Amino acid sequence: RRAFYARSGHLPAKTRDGIELTVMGNIEMPEEVVAVKDRGGDGIGLYRTEFQYLARQDFPSEDELYEHYKDVLDVMPGQPVTIRTLDINGDKAMAHNSDIEENPVLGLRAIRYCLKKPEVFITQLRAILRAAQHGQVRILVPMISKIEEVQQTRRLLEKAAESLKKEGFRHQRRVPLGIMIEVPSAAIMADALAREVDFFSIGTNDLIQYTMAIDRGNRHVAYLYSPLHPAVLRLLKHVTEAGARHNVPVFMCGEMAGESIYVPILLGLGIKELSVNAQAIPLIKSAVRAVDVEQARQFVDRLLQQTTIAQIEKLLETTYGDLK
């Protein structure tokens, strides 16, 4: 059965009513791209780039980063590779010499860190723009919580491209720029953020954590952690509607996308691209093939009228329980 699923990953993820979904892979280490390709992934929807910054005293050089990114692109010719800029601190790699923060996940994490350390950020942006000449790169920025952070990122991206041009490095200047929607303020401001970016990618791992004030890594509160909290579903709806109004595609790369039973919810919300761990790709593609989007849309309307996790779970189980 496992072998069948691995092969079936290469069948298209087309819904019963003929809508084609893109199912991509999440990776951390460059070599994981091979597993995504083997399982039938349509590209890389989330390349977490913290790994190269782990367990060392200095920062990786531009050339080193460029080589890593190029390695991934070489395995995925013609398919999108979404490189997420450094999501350092918080629960990920720690920057050396950083001051101890009492609440790192609410602290100088990800884009906040990068904007405070523009030299570190520009090194990564230059490496990405240089790698982008070898494939179909998208840039994804984590932990955006306000519009100014996107505008500052764009300015630094311009600066990185200018410096590459001046120094005569080959690079691709026009690269789609998207943001993670994983902080409630970004979800709420999605209509305004949509004017600033080329795509959204919803990070449910952090969005759930920050919406419900539940530490995603704390086992004492793990029983409270659920993508089916009605507040989370309403936020998702708010984001997908904003995206649709502004013609900004909405993707999902958080772990909610990797559970087959949630697929009808995500399709009903209008999400067109899912990115999941390599192992989950065939299963998610087969769940997509079992769903009718129009029915899923009506189902989501009913889900959104429920006010407790228990009611939502029950409705989901009775309607789509066989997708598990």
| Residues near ligand PEP (CB under 6 A) | 46, 48, 87, 182, 203-206, 253-254
What's the residue count for the chain?
324
β-pairing, 20-27 vs 13-14, is antiparallel
- Count of beta carbons in the 10 Å neighbourhood of residue 190: 23
Give me the least distance between CB of 82 and ligand PEP, in Å please: 11
**Cβ distance to ligand PEP smaller for residue 175 or 181:** 181
**Cβ distance to ligand PEP smaller for residue 21 or 276:** 276
According to the annotation, is 205 in a ligand binding site?
yes
**Cβ distance to Mg ion smaller for residue 203 or 268:** 203
Q: Which amino acid is at 216?
A: R
Give me the least distance between CB of 256 and ligand PEP, in Å please: 8
User: Which residues are near Mg ion by CB under 5 A?
Assistant: 182, 203, 206
Q: d(Cα 239, Cα 201) in Å, to the nearest integer?
A: 10
Q: In the 8-state DSSP scheme, what is residue 308? A: S
Among 285, 286, 273, residue whose Cα is nearest residue 43: 273
User: Is residue 140 within 8 Å of residue 69, measured between CB atoms?
Assistant: no
According to the annotation, is 48 in a ligand binding site?
yes
- Count of beta carbons in the 10 Å neighbourhood of residue 145: 16
**Cβ distance to ligand PEP smaller for residue 39 or 92:** 92
253: annotated active-site residue: yes
Q: d(Cα 19, Cα 267) in Å, to the nearest integer?
A: 10
Cross-strand bridge partners of residue 84: 48, 140
From the list ligand PEP, Mg ion, none, which binds 254 (C-beta under 5 to 8 Å, kind-based)?
Answer: ligand PEP
Catalytic residue among 132, 202, 248, 253: 253
Give me the least distance between CB of 140 and ligand PEP, in Å please: 10
From the list ligand PEP, Mg ion, none, which binds 253 (C-beta under 5 to 8 Å, kind-based)?
Answer: ligand PEP
Which long-range contacts (C-beta less than 8 Å, at least 24 apart) are formed by 313-317?
Answer: 313/228, 316/228, 316/261, 316/264, 316/265
According to the annotation, is 84 in a ligand binding site?
yes
Per the annotation, binding residues for phosphoenolpyruvate are 48, 84, 205-206, 216
Residues annotated as part of the active site: 253
Per the annotation, binding residues for Mg(2+) are 182, 206
